[in-house]
A and B are shown apart, each in its own frame.
Chain A
Amino acid sequence: MSGRALYVDGVSVVFDGFRALNNLSFIIEPGELRAVIGPNGAGKTTMMDVITGKTKPTAGIVKFGDTDLTRLDEPRIAMLGIGRKFQKPTVFDALTVFENLELALKAVRGPIACWKWRLAAEQRDRIEAVLREIGLSERGQDLAGLLSHGQRQWLEIGMLLMQEPELLLVDEPVAGMTDQETEHTAALLARIAGQRSVVVVEHDLEFVRALGCKVTVMCEGTVLSEGSIDHVQNDPRVIEVYLGR
């Protein structure tokens, strides 16, 4: 896959004088899997908000390939191929699991086009394939509101798969999951990662170790340390932040 790289250069976000991001810079190469860790309030979620267009940076450059992301709104960034999974799974409770995936399916988006649109056979096959992949084949016709917490997380990952994003931002995918669910999720993410760039924000260091990728440590809105998990765990500045001074 000839993907595009994500450049974040010198990004700052100021909310009423509070610096949520402070001169943040990093590059995600095409196809790379990257973990982002950091204490609460380090600006991890704000970073995702900036990339997906929810928050406009006060200063700095955010580029996906040659496209300036700071000029676009959420729907346009999503259509560009950047998908996001939220910390708290948000699925459409009043719709069935199948319909949730159908909404995410890469297809028409405008109101009149949606009114005329009909699901083609190969699109139905694709939705069913994703249903199998996320282990919800039996639940396709159930309302999403009836799913358990773990199943909702998987459905949301399934919705991301339907979007076929080039870059995937995943916010704390295993928070509140049982060990078994965590394992299943790690396997799902590993399968996705082979084909596209993935950025995973996570607190669970064991999970990050299991991902076996480059790690970025954020603190007070900026990059504190970057490298392999062993490298960052031995970095004195990281130890200071995590263990207190």
Chain B
Amino acid sequence: MRRLIILAITLLLALLPALNLAGLGVSDFVITVVGKWLCYAILALSIDLAWGYAGILSLGHGAFFALGGYAMGMHLMRLIGPRGVYGHPVLPDFMVFLGYQELPWFWWGFQSFPFAMLMALLIPGALAFLVGYLAFRSRITGVYLSILTQALTYALMLAFFRNDMGLGGNNGFTDFKELLGIALNTPLARALLFWSSLAALGGCLWLGTSIARSKLGRVLVGVRDAEARLRFLGYDTLQHKLFVFVLSAMMAGIAGALYVPQVGIINPSEFSPGNSLEAVVWVAFGGRGTLLGAVLGAFTVNGLKTWLTSVAPDLWLFVLGAVFVAVTLLLPRGLIGLLEKRR
């Protein structure tokens, strides 16, 4: 039953770009917006894997998302080539403007799509490994870890705002032209990105479910509820926490990489702590520790946001706060808990 519902929804979603391409009543706006939500759903899923299972509440997962986005952004910038405003054959516009003579070393390789995609995975993964190793080894858990991750994304935001970073400063990257030879402002590009996001969400959901159902999933639940006990059973919990945290950061990186070409811009505000907090609210709203709940939460909260910010933009933050309070008090198992109780 549950499988059938998921399959039906997936097919319905997959049909949207096809209808758009055929000119059958689905607007470009719908494709872009739902495509964005798909990326948010991957981000929510990645948070749920770390938080819902292993109890690692990261309040800075937006950083991994943004890093994945920047990796894709760098690739898209390199693809602009001589079509920039200044017409420089290699350097992106902002570098010409800032007086760069040559491409900084960390931009090397980003003209290659496979390399950029690898970096969208490896950079968030490496950062998560570093931060996770240092924090978990020192047994930093709970609220202290959450504050640490929050500080991490804030620090990255400040760093990326600087022009000397060589990553576009506060303007970030925009004016993208094409990806894999397809112009980005075409319905075909939008449809392909939408389908890629849907496939990536499906893949991540499959991966997450496979972990949750395995012994690893139960070990992670043990880490969440009684980590010390697990260590006396012979589990070196540092390894399990690092594994899930790095995997989760990589998923967030994929989400960011798919997000940037769809919205057409990436700038340091993606690192702002508020983004990470909002993503945690999606997971709490949908129901943590259920994976599917995280996806559901990302869609419903963002659906509500898109609708409310067009009808009554001033109300949105109040509604978000109220939703979070209401879910915490009334629906400890989130939306998915409510749906399952009904059945």
Contacts and interface: CB of A to CB of B under 8 A. Distances in A.
Interface of A: 52, 73-76, 78-79, 83-84, 86, 90-95, 99, 102-104, 108-112, 114-117, 159, 163
Contacts of B218: 92, 95, 99, 102-103
A99 B219 CA distance: 10
B129 interface: no
A75 B225 contact: no
Contact of A103 (B230, B236, B243): B230
A114 B214 contact: yes
B226 interface: yes
A84 to B, nearest CB: 5
A102 B215 CA distance: 8
Given A76-B234, A117-B216, 11 more contacts: A78-B233, A91-B226, A92-B218, A92-B226, A95-B218, A103-B222, A111-B219, A114-B214, A114-B216, A115-B214, A159-B233
B215 A90 contact: no
A93 B234 contact: no
A92 B231 contact: no
Contacts of B83: none
Contact of A111 (B226, B230, B231, B240): B240
Contacts of B240: 111, 114
B235 A116 contact: no
A79 B234 contact: yes
28 contacts: A52-B232, A74-B232, A75-B234, A75-B237, A76-B236, A78-B231, A78-B232, A78-B233, A86-B229, A90-B226, A90-B228, A91-B229, A92-B218, A92-B221, A92-B226, A94-B224, A94-B225, A102-B218, A103-B218, A103-B219, A109-B234, A109-B236, A111-B216, A111-B239, A111-B242, A112-B243, A117-B216, A163-B233
Given A92-B229, A114-B219, A109 B214 contact: no
A126 to B, nearest CB: 15
A90 B228 CA distance: 9
Interface in B118-167: none
Contact of B215 (A74, A78, A115): A115
Contacts of A159: 233
B112 interface: no
Contacts of A117: 214-216
B244 interface: yes
Contacts of A75: 231, 234-237
A87 to B, nearest CB: 13
Contacts of A73: 231, 236
Contacts of B14: none
B210 interface: yes
B214 A111 contact: no
Majority secondary structure of chain B interface residues (helix, strand, loop or mixed): helix
Contact of A163 (B234, B239, B242): B234
Interface string B58-98: 00000000000000000000000000000000000000000
Given A95-B221, A115-B214, A90 B229 contact: yes
A95 B217 CA distance: 11
B211 interface: yes
B215 A92 contact: no
A204 B243 CA distance: 44
B225 A92 contact: yes
Contacts of A93: 225
Report which residue of B236, B239, B244 has the largest number of chain A beta carbons within 10 angstroms of its beta carbon.
Answer: B236
B243 to A, nearest CB: 4
A99 to B, nearest CB: 5
A21 B128 CA distance: 40
Contacts of A83: 232
Given A114-B214, A114-B215, A116-B214, A95 B234 contact: no
A2 B268 CA distance: 64
Report which residue of A99, A114, A117 has the largest number of chain B beta carbons within 10 angstroms of its beta carbon.
Answer: A114
Contacts of A115: 210-211, 214-216
A111 B233 CA distance: 14
Contacts of B225: 92-94
Given A75-B234, A84-B232, A103-B230, A95 B215 contact: no
- Give the 7 A-B residue pairs with the shortest CB-CB distance, closest first: A78-B234, A111-B243, A114-B216, A74-B231, A115-B216, A75-B236, A79-B234
Nearest to A82: B232
Nearest to A106: B234
Report which residue of B221, B222, B232, B240 has the largest number of chain A beta carbons within 10 angstroms of its beta carbon.
Answer: B232
Contacts of B237: 75
B148 to A, nearest CB: 22
Contacts of A94: 221, 224-225
